Structure 1
Amino acid sequence: MPSHLFADRPVPQPPERGPDAVDALITRTRRLRGDVDAVRRGTLVDEDDPGARWQRALCDLAVHQLDDLGAHLDQLRNGLPDGTTAPAGDDDLIAYEADHALGTGSLLSRVGSAEWNLLTDEVNWSEELYRIIGRSPASGPMTLDELPSVVHPDDQGLLTALVTGALVDGRPIDGEFRLVRPDGRVRTVHMTGEPVLDTDGSTASMWAVIRDVSALRRSEAAVRDSRDSLHRRQHFERTEHRIAVELQEAVLPPWQGSLQFPLGGAAELDGAALDVAARYFPSANSALIGGDWYDALQLASGASLLSVGDLTGHGVTATSSMAMLLGALRGMALAGVEPARLMVHLNQLMESSTQPALGSAVCCRFEPASRTLSWAQAGHPAPLLFRDGTGQILSRPDGVLLGATSSPEYEQAELELLPGDLLLLHTDGLTRTGAAGGGDTARLLALAPRLARVRNAQEAVRTVVELFGGDGREDDACVMVARIGS
């Protein structure tokens, strides 16, 4: 069996070239430790952000491990100082606790050793072991029978099994348990050791090295907890995103391509036909499902209602509020409520909602017989009118954001549309694409010559997509095009 070594006794110096190699390792370890510590200090810990907590916990764990590695290398190079003596009183215990309360204790101040001679009943402890256990050296070392008294009750059986296995079966000791110090504080220690046999093969003594791993285990626990919290957060976000997408798909109109009003065909229409197409643009961050919507609805009178809108926020909250608002809008429009009154009622609905938010919207009612467009808006970009190869922004009637005030007034505007006119409605996210897209309303108006050549609303939407459908969009958006037939 190998001879026992105290953790704080000198060890033989390494070979001649060893110190240079170890010095290089120490330098690299210290440099790496400094880099990791710089990352740790630069990591802002947001208690509501599991990802940030996980990153900080990993940095803390890495620093602890590099501290241990550096101290191991220092010991490998220099050995422990000669002439160590046990302290005379409790002052060193207080200093030890002060160091560890601040997290400044080195590896060497966290490792102690002991030897129990079974033939002479002599017990030798290193001074660091007294500090780890919180025992005054004046009280002397503890025998193997006394040692379980400072072990946590739940771990006493483990210690007994480790010691019995070493003394009876000759097995090496390698286990971890908790110590309860006299002040009530609990520390986690890792114990390694072996029995020492005499010439006839019987156990003469046992040695052990006891390392205080409390700080390391706390860091590992913090990493596990923060990682689990991050995984739960990610699972929640994936679930919320899936629900938001499904809710959005369920609420937005199911039609693809162009939609012709009236739905029964031009033969049933005494007036102008309406060709409608629309498109939803996701944001560059596909995880952000917003509250943008578009809708086209044929009313009982033969008129058509066109609307687009946007609610603040993202995720299930935004899409559920959008579903509520769009359902109310459809119901009131089918009941014959004019666009301006629609805005008043939608504002009341937003105010009474349990999920406060702000929203913008524009609602247009088109009468095919007179080709009259009646419209109102609530803090929303005005529709664009393209006629004879030119584009213009319609003058906005007054109207504030939905949910912004309790008693708003909404004006209603009217204009006559001509055959071949093209009306474009959009949410503000379409023209707010950031530095990558650089888009604005002027770019939309510049499409007028191209839009004058399209054959239907779907081609017009494709033209808009070519210009605004690229990457870099800060927010999601909707666009709707209505082309007036003859």
Structure 2
Amino acid sequence: MPSHLFADRPAPQQPAHDAVDALIHRAHRLRGDVDAVRRDAVTDEENAQLRWQRALCELAVHHLDNLGAHLSQLRAGLPEQRSTGTAPDRRRAAAPLDASPPSRVGSAEWNLLTDEVSWSKELYEILGRPRESEPLSLDEMPSVLLPEDQPLLTSMVTGCLVDGRPMDGEFRIVRPDRRLRTVHMTGEPVLDAHGRTASMWAVLRDVSELRRGEEAVSRSQDSVRHEEHIERTEHRMAVELQEAVLPPWRGSLRLPRQGPGALDIAAHYLPSRSSGLIGGDWYDAMELPDGRTLLSVGDLAGHGIPATSAMAMLLGALRGMAVAGIEPGALMGHLNQLLESSIQPALGSALCCRFDPATGILSWSQAGHPAPLLFRDGTGRLLPPPDGVLLGAASEVAFEQDEVRLLPGDVLVLHTDGLTRRSDRGAGPEALLGLAPRFARARTAQECVRSVVEEFGGSERLDDACVLVARFGG
């Protein structure tokens, strides 16, 4: 332990025993609370955020362990003392603190007048040296350090002995068993009656576990930042891919562009409550070579780039087959085969409609998707769905096709199931059907879409969604 009587200052007084006991009690309680949090923090190697939280708990426990050790030393008081011979009242440590945990905190004193060196038992343990061995002199101390850390110790000792500066630094030592330890060293010169340096004392603390804990926290933070960067990049790429694939038109679209019996069409994509969840939802409308109009919506399982890239593939195939004149039912069968044979199999739902403006007939088919809602004369109803299973769920299945005749003023609503899946209600068409009076008053499909967004665009929606409204005779 350090000499506590200096020529230029009085010896410090020992803190009140009861006050130190109270601090130790509080530290022990806090340590137990933190340890309980650490045990409850189940490690998930796939979750960087949880790894970082666990590392912080580990580091806090290490800090509290060291705090408890220091307070125990403070409560025990000074060890047995004996004279150094430099002055009648000069004292230095001769025995270690029994209350100190091993290999945590040690002390040393180097007497410059007698060349005598004194180490505490804990310092022998920290440096891994036998108790019967001679303590190292100041000249020998750098030999146990890593070569790159030796200049630091030399500079600290020189500044202390020559300039009287306190020491405060950290270095790495190599024990005889080849184990590497990190040691924090603080100390001061001890002056004689003439103000000259008579000896130097130091306290050395093994901070290896603390540094490892800090490194674990730092690595976990870097991992969190890296994953957040990846998530932001993937989110941006998914958004760009989605925007590139979905129809470029905004506002209302009239199809076919020429002739009577056109559909007034408007659509909207609604992001989820967490805007980071970019899924495989799509909507589409296009004029076919024979003058008919294709309407489709769909939703592939998953989020991010895998879902949006699979959606791009599926939507491209759907458009190509529709242009080739394939009927909606057969088209769904081909899409199902496409998903089954793809390198990355996926599940999805889809709805495909083909409208003939000359007859007003809407032919449609679905694959595990919510059926269209037809609004007429101020009321709405769900169209009975033809048979169809999820795309990618089974092989060699047939998808039925159905027809319905649209009348002037009819409003057809296609949507993905994320639209009505909300935290305050279950999935279902009831809320959409309740918009019938507003649709009856609307003059355009865009006004109908605006009503849907006002009703379903709130922050409580759990998933992203698409809605497409087609108004006949508008």
Q: Under a length normalisation based on structure 2, what TM-score does the superposition of the two structures give?
A: 0.88
Partners of 2:349 and 2:230 lie apart in 1 by 29
Partners of 1:119 and 1:58 lie apart in 2 by 47
Partners of 2:152 and 2:17 lie apart in 1 by 40
Partners of 2:77 and 2:38 lie apart in 1 by 31
Residue 66 of structure 1, CA deviation: 2.3
1:237-289 residue CA offsets vs partner (Å, 9 max, x unmatched) = 1122222222222222222222111124xxx33xx221111121211111111
SS where residue 343 of structure 1 aligns? helix
SS where residue 249 of structure 2 aligns? coil
- Higher mean Cα deviation, 66-75 or 210-219? 66-75
Residue 449 of structure 1, CA deviation: 3.8
AA aligned opposite 2:131: P
Note closer, same or farther for the CA distance 1:106–1:204 as it changes in structure 2 (3 Å cut).
closer
Partner of 1:41: 39
SS where residue 165 of structure 2 aligns? coil
Partner of 2:460: 472
Partners of 1:299 and 1:292 lie apart in 2 by 22
Note closer, same or farther for the CA distance 1:315–1:147 as it changes in structure 2 (3 Å cut).
same
- Higher mean Cα deviation, 422-431 or 447-456? 447-456
**Of 211, 231, 236, the match for 1:237:** 231
AA aligned opposite 1:324: M
**Given that residues 67 and 106 in structure 1 are in contact (C-alpha distance below 8 angstroms), is that contact kept between their aligned partners in structure 2?**
no
Partners of 2:403 and 2:78 lie apart in 1 by 92
**Given that residues 80 and 94 in structure 2 are in contact (C-alpha distance below 8 angstroms), is that contact kept between their aligned partners in structure 1?**
no
- Higher mean Cα deviation, 206-215 or 246-255? 246-255
1:271-311 residue CA offsets vs partner (Å, 9 max, x unmatched) = x2211111212111111111111111111111000000001
Residue 86 of structure 1, CA deviation: 7.0
Partner of 1:61: 59
**Of 191, 201, 212, the match for 1:207:** 201
Matched, 1:445 2:433: yes
AA aligned opposite 1:35: D
Partner of 2:409: 420
**Given that residues 68 and 106 in structure 1 are in contact (C-alpha distance below 8 angstroms), is that contact kept between their aligned partners in structure 2?**
no
Partner of 1:394: 383
SS where residue 138 of structure 2 aligns? coil
Partner of 2:341: 352
Partner of 2:107: 113
Residue 312 of structure 1, CA deviation: 0.8
AA aligned opposite 1:209: V
SS where residue 141 of structure 1 aligns? coil
Partners of 2:116 and 2:421 lie apart in 1 by 82
AA aligned opposite 1:213: V
**Given that residues 105 and 123 in structure 2 are in contact (C-alpha distance below 8 angstroms), is that contact kept between their aligned partners in structure 1?**
yes
Residue 130 of structure 1, CA deviation: 0.7
AA aligned opposite 2:271: P
SS where residue 313 of structure 1 aligns? strand
**Given that residues 72 and 100 in structure 2 are in contact (C-alpha distance below 8 angstroms), is that contact kept between their aligned partners in structure 1?**
no
AA aligned opposite 1:152: L
**Given that residues 65 and 216 in structure 1 are in contact (C-alpha distance below 8 angstroms), is that contact kept between their aligned partners in structure 2?**
yes
Structure 2 counterparts to residues 13-52 of structure 1, below 5 A: 14=14, 18-52=16-50
Residue 224 of structure 1, CA deviation: 1.1
Matched, 1:181 2:181: no
Query: Percent identity among equivalent residues?
Result: 69
Structure 2 counterparts to residues 63-142 of structure 1, below 5 A: 63-79=61-77, 109-142=103-136
Partners of 2:412 and 2:383 lie apart in 1 by 10
Partners of 2:100 and 2:361 lie apart in 1 by 83
**Given that residues 73 and 100 in structure 2 are in contact (C-alpha distance below 8 angstroms), is that contact kept between their aligned partners in structure 1?**
no
**Of 145, 148, 173, the match for 2:142:** 148
Partner of 1:101: none
Partners of 1:278 and 1:334 lie apart in 2 by 21
AA aligned opposite 2:331: L
AA aligned opposite 1:391: G
**Given that residues 79 and 94 in structure 2 are in contact (C-alpha distance below 8 angstroms), is that contact kept between their aligned partners in structure 1?**
no
1:411-460 residue CA offsets vs partner (Å, 9 max, x unmatched) = 222222222222111111112113x2455212222333443333222222
Partners of 1:455 and 1:284 lie apart in 2 by 30
Note closer, same or farther for the CA distance 1:106–1:329 as it changes in structure 2 (3 Å cut).
farther
For structure 2, which runs of at least 5 residues remain unmatched after alignment?
Answer: 6-10, 82-92
Note closer, same or farther for the CA distance 1:45–1:262 as it changes in structure 2 (3 Å cut).
same
More helix by share: 1
**Of 377, 382, 403, the match for 2:371:** 382
Partner of 1:171: 165
Partners of 1:55 and 1:62 lie apart in 2 by 11
SS where residue 462 of structure 1 aligns? helix
Partner of 1:8: none
Note closer, same or farther for the CA distance 1:81–1:144 as it changes in structure 2 (3 Å cut).
closer
1:118-161 residue CA offsets vs partner (Å, 9 max, x unmatched) = 33222211000111111111123222333233222332333233
Partner of 2:292: 303
Partners of 2:14 and 2:198 lie apart in 1 by 30
Partners of 2:26 and 2:193 lie apart in 1 by 45
- Higher mean Cα deviation, 213-222 or 64-73? 64-73
For structure 1, which runs of at least 5 residues remain unmatched after alignment?
Answer: 6-10, 88-95, 97-104
**Given that residues 417 and 427 in structure 2 are in contact (C-alpha distance below 8 angstroms), is that contact kept between their aligned partners in structure 1?**
no
**Given that residues 349 and 367 in structure 2 are in contact (C-alpha distance below 8 angstroms), is that contact kept between their aligned partners in structure 1?**
yes
- Higher mean Cα deviation, 446-455 or 372-381? 446-455
1:184-206 residue CA offsets vs partner (Å, 9 max, x unmatched) = 21110011223334456554322
**Of 189, 202, 205, the match for 1:195:** 189
AA aligned opposite 1:151: L
1:330-361 residue CA offsets vs partner (Å, 9 max, x unmatched) = 22222222212222222233233333321110
